[in-house]
Structure 1
């Protein structure tokens, strides 16, 4: 098997060296070049045609966002962004993911992270995953093909209240943007979203989605009452659950231990929703690595067989891990491409 050929672009010589050393410690990866800014990086990418690029956001001459946009136009390549968790950087990171980057790594301590080595496995995993993504991502969501029915049940609206719960990971911000900006303003449901992301980035995600959507999109707050027509994004670093008091439903944010490496966890949201009575439930699993959400789907269906489960189809999923794990439970009612998702959700509600 050929090694994954990587170019590391960062304005700090220290960071270039550390990231290169971390990546090359894995026998699957070869760092073929480094670059000190976006312009230098673009030239090397054109010459060397790497499999994956790691790209810092803040750089002189040409920053990471500008370089990413040019790269996606001229030479689409899987990109993993490196970002500090400042408000400005986190907003730019979400912008980068929406502009075609596969994923990002939050540097643990600002622009020059002396403790970046603590993230060795995360950096390696994200580069390996990025190498398996087919580009250009822009074309993936245009695919229109018939959606696959796995197991059809009649999703008759039985109750007054409806909750749509969405879980996603790698590639999620772009998928969410595609769906959320096409949902109608008068949607008669609350929408709860778990996107795997560290603290500090989910707020920027909510702000960006809110700019694009007819509905209100916000980062969820502990104890708030669920309302129709509002999309609640689980804050990074917290599990988001639904708590029922009488007929009212509230958000319950907890700092319980990460579940199989995730906090927020899709399984945690789905499992809490399984306990809620007299509510119509729609569970959606979008693009992402791993199998988060699969156990929660089993709980939802065990407690209420009328729960309607949708998984993104392989044709449009940037990473088909989470939807595939959902389908393997045999509880998915429908597999649908991204282009059909918002209509499907709207019709079910």
Structure 2
């Protein structure tokens, strides 16, 4: 049965490359779920097309002439918010800018393929459809253009910086996650003997840019995790794209291990393997946090943290871009607290203070 075109979600394609405008249009129009109502060659053109066609979703390149993707996203989310998906290269300045775009209100991102050909197009089309379906269900709110924060983050250089963490905060995030993480991680205090382990559903190579961005904003030192890294206090570790991350016990103490075992819930990294290992090794000294995202990743793991004596936190419906993951965490029985994103860092700090060994 052919869908009535009026029932299909309307998409604006924005890219300065004629090749990618054509490719994105062919993939979207061939999906049977979405249709392209217009294309734009730069950010200024995108603003005109948004006003003229009022699309449901926007596929946005970042590096463009006239007005780049960041500028266009800022204007759209402040004036006429709608679901924006970033389509970006994962190398060079494009990766860092894509993370910034997610903070400005874009709901997700898709990496452009380095290769061209039928196989590459098929891989790209599959990823794009998954992300568009998630973006279609996102709750999009007006986002004020943030004031530039010129404060320099000063990190203390105490002995705590190199000690093994006694407490652990494990965080799961998907669609809308980078913006939530930017709200939470920079507000976490150091000196509480805690490490933060983050799983953000994100393509490979973008996770390093996410870690670097969070590090520039935070008192914690934030890094993309590597296999065998010791779990140190006052450090945050972001699972690299396409790798599951777990906690393991070695002779020298707890370390991180990375693997490429099969995807779970359709994603890799997934939060459930991490949360399960955190429950096993940290027990009552763990805090699990499930943030915005589609699906149910993190729900089973949060319940395990709860059953091991730890604390479970889920983001509330009102502040979540997509309430799927927090809702599943609440239904599984693992969440002690359901909080708006603006209150999560404070609750984590309070629980860590309570748990810190005297």
Scaled to the shorter chain, the TM-score interval is 0.7 to 0.9
Equivalent position of 1:90 in the other structure: 95
The count of residues paired between Structure 1 and Structure 2 equals 326
Q: 2:272 aligns with which of 264, 267, 271?
A: 267
How much does 1:278 deviate? Answer: 6.1
- On the 8 A contact 1:239/1:256 being kept in 2, the answer is yes
Correspondence 1:322 to 2:322: no
- Which structure ranks higher in relative contact order (CA pairs < 8 Å, sequence separation ≥ 6)? 1
Note closer, same or farther for the CA distance 1:16–1:113 as it changes in structure 2 (3 Å cut): farther
For structure 2, list consecutive stretches of 5 or more residues without a partner in the other structure: 1-5, 145-164, 353-358
- On the 8 A contact 2:9/2:35 being kept in 1, the answer is yes
- On the 8 A contact 1:8/1:55 being kept in 2, the answer is yes
The secondary structure found in structure 2 opposite 1:57 is coil
The runs of at least 4 consecutive aligned structure 1 residues that moved more than 6 Å come to none
* 1:1-349 → structure 2 map (5 Å cutoff): 2-109=7-114, 115-136=120-141, 138=143, 161-245=166-250, 248-276=253-281, 280-302=285-307, 304=308, 306-349=309-352
How much does 1:258 deviate? Answer: 2.0
**When the two structures are superposed, what TM-score results if normalisation uses the length of structure 1?**
0.88
How much does 1:235 deviate? Answer: 1.1
- On the 8 A contact 1:167/1:285 being kept in 2, the answer is yes
Equivalent position of 1:153 in the other structure: none
Q: Which moved further from structure 2: 70-79 or 310-319?
A: 70-79
> 1:239-280: CA deviations, max 9, x gaps?
111012368211111222222322111011012223215661
Q: Which has the higher helix share?
A: 2
> 1:207-240: CA deviations, max 9, x gaps?
1101111111111122121111111111112111
Note closer, same or farther for the CA distance 1:190–1:21 as it changes in structure 2 (3 Å cut): same
The secondary structure found in structure 1 opposite 2:246 is strand
Looking at structure 2, the residues matched to 117 and 11 of structure 1 have their Cα atoms a distance apart, in angstroms, of 22
Note closer, same or farther for the CA distance 1:113–1:70 as it changes in structure 2 (3 Å cut): farther
**When the two structures are superposed, what TM-score results if normalisation uses the length of structure 2?**
0.86
> 1:77-105: CA deviations, max 9, x gaps?
21111101103111010011011111110
> 1:23-82: CA deviations, max 9, x gaps?
122333121111111111111111111111111112222221222122223322211111
The secondary structure found in structure 2 opposite 1:138 is coil
- On the 8 A contact 1:161/1:279 being kept in 2, the answer is no
How much does 1:203 deviate? Answer: 0.8
Equivalent position of 2:155 in the other structure: none
Looking at structure 2, the residues matched to 323 and 199 of structure 1 have their Cα atoms a distance apart, in angstroms, of 24
